[in-house]
Structure 1
Amino acid sequence: MGAISIRKVVKRYGAGPKANAVIHGVDAEIADGEFIVIVGPSGCGKSTLLRMVAGLEEISEGEIAIAGRVVNDVEPSERDIAMVFQNYALYPHMTVFENMAYGLKIARVARAEIEARVAKAAGILQLEPFLQRKPRELSGGQRQRVAMGRAIVRQPEVFLFDEPLSNLDAKLRAQTRLEIQKLHAELGVTSLFVTHDQVEAMTLAQRMIVMNAGRMEQIGTPAQVYATPATTFVAGFIGSPPMNLIRGVAEGQRFVVDGQPLALPAAAPREGELIAGLRPEHATLAAAGAPGWPFHVETSEMLGAERLVHGLVGRQGFTVRVDAALPAPHNGQTLALQAPAGQLHWFDATTQRRID
């Protein structure tokens, strides 16, 4: 069916010694019916990778297979894919029905079949009341649903989404995320979804690919990526706020940070220069004098049910998430930061890869 194999794929622009490589040997196997989110910062190569799957960018090395067929030299129109772009790209002079039906009409699908497919897609996306409206009469969320409907009626093997929610406001994005989840549950079509928004990635993905500078840093379920980040980049990118990362020197059950020895609840996995990671929600604050790391409070943010307390461990920034019902610490105050043994993550200071 719609399984996708991405095998040692490389993308370069230009040729010879001045060639600029933007994708560096990405490998991924995507099962039929799986929903994969490709996430990373702007310029990391995630959209380029998606466009190579779509056939809109040529592959410099490696191969891509869809449903068992290598498609390196196959035209986009023959890959049995449907793509939803960041901009809706709707025809302004056509109605919603005509926009959704246009691709089928060009493919000379029978009129009765077109009407049946559009009706089914409109029902799934709750667009029935708008079929005779023009795009200018629709909200941004409704236009994006029309763009998704246009893809659904194609009945492709694979859906490709290129940051489709970027133009929506926060409330519409949340609503449309739910609609996309329901859509995938109903259709079960293999989907690749590109975003720079980690919240979208965490909420939508069955598995996620974290990209950085053209390389795949990690692939796994959102829970796996969050709980066991493979690199400091993943640890610092996934999570809001991200994982705290402190560089120091491990000496048995001590961790020396900026010349200050900190007691560890358990010995580090090895001695020498390491990076310790701790999620803001896994750290706790106690009164000065209690066991823990000296934590100098700089400021705090009230977020409703919780509060983010920002400060310094040694000379390095650190954030702690606390219950907003607790008394707010004072700026300039020094407290004891307590780190549970089971929640500390360790990374190699040179390679920045996880140490288990």
Structure 2
Amino acid sequence: MASLSLNNVVKQYGKGKHALQVIHGVSAEIEKGEFIVIVGPSGCGKSTLLRMVAGLEEISGGEIRIGDRVVNRLEPAERDIAMVFQNYALYPHMSVFENMAYGLKIRKMPPAEIKARVDKAAGILELAHLLDRKPRQLSGGQRQRVAMGRAIVRQPQVFLFDEPLSNLDAKLRAQTRLEIQKLHRELGITSLFVTHDQVEAMTLAQRMIVMNAGVMEQFGTPEEVYHRPASTFVASFIGSPPMNLLKDVPGSRGGTVLGIRPEHLDIGSDGWEVRVETVELLGAERLVYGRIGGEAVIVRTDESQPAPAAESIIRVRPREDRLHWFDAGSGKRVAA
């Protein structure tokens, strides 16, 4: 495994006044063995950033290091990385064993070592009983595990995952997330994982890079990103439902936006007046959607509290130690 360093990495298409910059000076130091998730909405540049690390996209500025080597001008095959895509890209005429072994055969590795590596990876991924099957005989989750196995046998310095779970249904996504966590614990290989799913990011990441329009908005642990978002973008993107962002409530200050998570608003006999619009019943919890004046607000409660009726008026009190303040112009976090 190796460390990974991004130093003011820039990507633009075209030159001069017609140039379109899509990655704006991303810098991050990733330690050996870390599992880093790059998360953001569609079109934010997360896959472009990953492809630059892989060597599939040229960088326009800055520096990428894998271990002690600057890899800016190295071909993908020279970077000692392995990549897993959302489409499994398996050879349909080959067995699972042959698919996993193919890259090693191309490198002319001895057959005995190839078998040892494939058998070890198949054991980790619970594929040992499927090695003779063809891809058409496998489920989507099994095919994705084969694709991961093909990457594992290469024993790379860095794993790159480009939305590998996006083709799976919700149950398989959750199951495969657990398998990826287990895989990382066993192998400890430095990993970059791209996703647009913030739940996936929160559950997988040791640290996460939150991207927005080519800019790295925040780089931190899931707990840091959730509990101390660096901007209104991060506050609204990370969390389901997102943080409430309010400009005109009692106690707010000029030029700032007040942020409060839905679970940090307590229904009671005093506090802000909320007109209820609708209530979602979600088993053990309820989401109350309403308005404070003209601003939308969401309140999360548990099943122990009675659900308020639509069009009723309730009062909610924010927890004072859970308030977040952001600059109304830049959207950046400011001191309380």
TM-score range, shorter chain: over 0.9
Instruction: Give CA deviations for 1:277-311 in whole Å, capped at 9, x if unaligned.
Output: 0000110112xxx3201101000000000010000
The residue number in structure 2 matching 1:330 is 309
Aligned-residue CA RMSD in angstroms?
0.8
Instruction: Give CA deviations for 1:56-113 in whole Å, capped at 9, x if unaligned.
Output: 0000000100011000000000100000001000000000000000000000000000
The residue number in structure 2 matching 1:301 is 280
Secondary structure at the aligned position of 1:143 is classed as: helix
Q: Identity across aligned pairs (percent)?
A: 70
Deviates more, 1:123-132 or 1:324-333: 324-333
The residue number in structure 1 matching 2:258 is 276
2:105 matched to 1:123? no
The residue number in structure 2 matching 1:313 is 292
Q: Distance in 2 between matches of 1:165 and 1:147?
A: 11
Q: Distance in 2 between matches of 1:135 and 1:67?
A: 35
2:223 matched to 1:223? yes
* Deviation, structure 1 residue 272: 2.0
* Deviation, structure 1 residue 50: 0.1
One of 324, 330, 335 as aligned partner of 1:345: 324
Secondary structure at the aligned position of 2:240 is classed as: coil
Alignment of 1:206-245 (within 5 A): 206-245=206-245
Secondary structure at the aligned position of 2:247 is classed as: strand
Q: Distance in 2 between matches of 1:135 and 1:62?
A: 40
2:185 matched to 1:185? yes
* Deviation, structure 1 residue 217: 0.1
The residue number in structure 2 matching 1:174 is 174
Q: Distance in 1 between matches of 2:306 and 2:320?
A: 26
Secondary structure at the aligned position of 1:86 is classed as: coil
2:63 matched to 1:63? yes
Moved over 3 A (4+): none
Q: Distance in 1 between matches of 2:16 and 2:45?
A: 21
* Deviation, structure 1 residue 273: 2.1
Instruction: Give CA deviations for 1:168-212 in whole Å, capped at 9, x if unaligned.
Output: 001100110000000000000000000000111000000000000
Instruction: Give CA deviations for 1:133-160 in whole Å, capped at 9, x if unaligned.
Output: 0000000000000000000000000000
Equivalent position amino acid for 2:138 in 1: L
Q: Distance in 2 between matches of 1:197 and 1:278?
A: 22
Secondary structure at the aligned position of 1:240 is classed as: coil
TM-score (normalised: structure 1): 0.93
Alignment of 1:34-53 (within 5 A): 34-53=34-53
* Deviation, structure 1 residue 224: 0.6
TM-score (normalised: structure 2): 0.98
Q: Distance in 2 between matches of 1:196 and 1:175?
A: 18
Equivalent position amino acid for 1:62 in 2: G
The residue number in structure 2 matching 1:91 is 91
The gaps in structure 2 that reach 5 residues or longer are none
Instruction: Give CA deviations for 1:261-281 in whole Å, capped at 9, x if unaligned.
Output: x2x4xxx6xx42210000001
* Deviation, structure 1 residue 337: 1.1
* Deviation, structure 1 residue 327: 1.3
* Deviation, structure 1 residue 15: 1.1
Q: Distance in 2 between matches of 1:303 and 1:324?
A: 9
Instruction: Give CA deviations for 1:217-255 in whole Å, capped at 9, x if unaligned.
Output: 00000001000000000000000000000013xxxxxxx
Figure out how many residues of one structure are paired with residues of the other and give that number: 335
Q: Distance in 2 between matches of 1:307 and 1:175?
A: 26
